[in-house]
Amino acid sequence: MTPAELSSTVLHAVRRAVDAGELDVTVPARAVVATPGPGGCGDYATNIALQLARPAGQPPYRVAEVLRSYLVGVDGVADVVLTGPGFLNISLGGAAPAALVEEILSAGTRYGHADAPDAPDAPDAPDGSVVRLHCPHDLRAVVVADAVARVLRCQGALVRVTAEGFDREWTAALGVRVDGVGPAPAGPPVTVRPVPAPADPLPLGRDAARWALLHPAAHDRPRIGDEHLAQREGNPLFRVRYAHARSRALTRNAADLGFAAAPGPVPDAPQDLLAALGDHPRVLAAAAAHRAPDRIARHLVAVADATLPFLPAVLPRGGEKPSAAHRARLALAEAAGTVLAGGLTLLGIDAPDHL
């Protein structure tokens, strides 16, 4: 069971409790599942009981007890433990990582796109209407609009980008484009107006410049400096690209040892990595809905930071022979690399296999 499937399972438990008359609430649109916090346990936790307590007119712990009875025994759920004021801590069966990894590898870099399995519904233009983005004659605004357009399109929207002014060198240097130049078009366009960059980012080159402009939130002033080019752990872009390149190197190394990836149970799978990978579709949908590509950039950093400590355990050590566990770990590493590559592509940044 993937995190997206688990979220649906929790909502189904709420519906069953409502249908049975044990809860008198409106079933929410989604249930957030995440890695358990301090004092938690299991693979995932949800605060759905705290969310429903007030409308249900019952204490959160009582709501959690009701929902637990509908979750225990569900296929893929091994156990449900209540902690704190009413958190549901859910342990999944051993195949949970395998299902998530298989889903990611099957979808490839389109994992989380609207037409990928289990992806959220497209947030805009489901009827074929066009989302109109308009920005001032400012390089950061054009880059952010370009990234927003990429993310919206991956969620199924039709997008048109216009700008009050555009320099042709921006296309050659940063790969941005607009569909029209001039005043805002007729209709209600979405204005993209982030805080301008304090200096010219073009000397950084395409990848570092786009990252410098997209990683901060739109209301934050970006830093334009050589720190974005540094090949060290203190540079978030380096960590993201390094984690991707390492995952690809492991695939090559495994081939030299005569084995390939195969999704399967990973007993020592890091839960923060599984949670980050499973959260990728939601992050893409939220980035599209809020016109915020910075959410993807920060999410990629979280994926990379969860991936890097796991990679040294993937390949056999010493005289070990490749086993099913090694193939499953390699598949998880490849899934992480796939998510990193897909996210970087949406930001218009290259994901090299060698770094």
Burial class (CB in 10 A: 0-12, 13-18, 19+), 317: exposed
Spatial distance between the Cα atoms of 171 and 176, rounded to a whole number of angstroms: 5
Q: For 182-194, what is the mean pLDDT?
A: 85
Pairwise pLDDT comparison (58 vs 75), residue with the higher score: 58
Per-residue pLDDT tens over the stretch 121-157: 344 444 457 899 999 999 999 999 999 999 999 999 9
Q: Using 50, 70 and 90 to split pLDDT, how confident is the model at 37? A: confident
The tens digit of pLDDT for each residue in 280-305 reads 988 999 899 999 999 999 999 999 99
Distances 213 to 173, 196, 197, 208, 210 between C-alpha atoms, Å: 14, 9, 7, 9, 5
Q: What is the mean pLDDT of the chain?
A: 90
pLDDT score of 208: 97
What confidence score (pLDDT) does residue 96 get? 59
Closest CA to 204 of 182, 187, 228: 228
Beta bridge partners of 46: 88
- Judged by average pLDDT, the poorest of 74-78, 241-245, 319-323 is 74-78
Residue 37 amino acid letter: G
pLDDT at 127: 46
- The string of DSSP letters for 291-317 reads T-THHHHHHHHHHHHHHTTTGGGSS--
pLDDT of residue 107: 95
> Which pLDDT value is given to residue 282?
83
∠ CA 320-244-294, rounded to 5°? 145
Question: What does pTM read for this prediction?
Answer: 0.76
Structure tokens at 62: 């009582």
Q: What is the pLDDT of residue 115?
A: 59
pLDDT of residue 244: 98
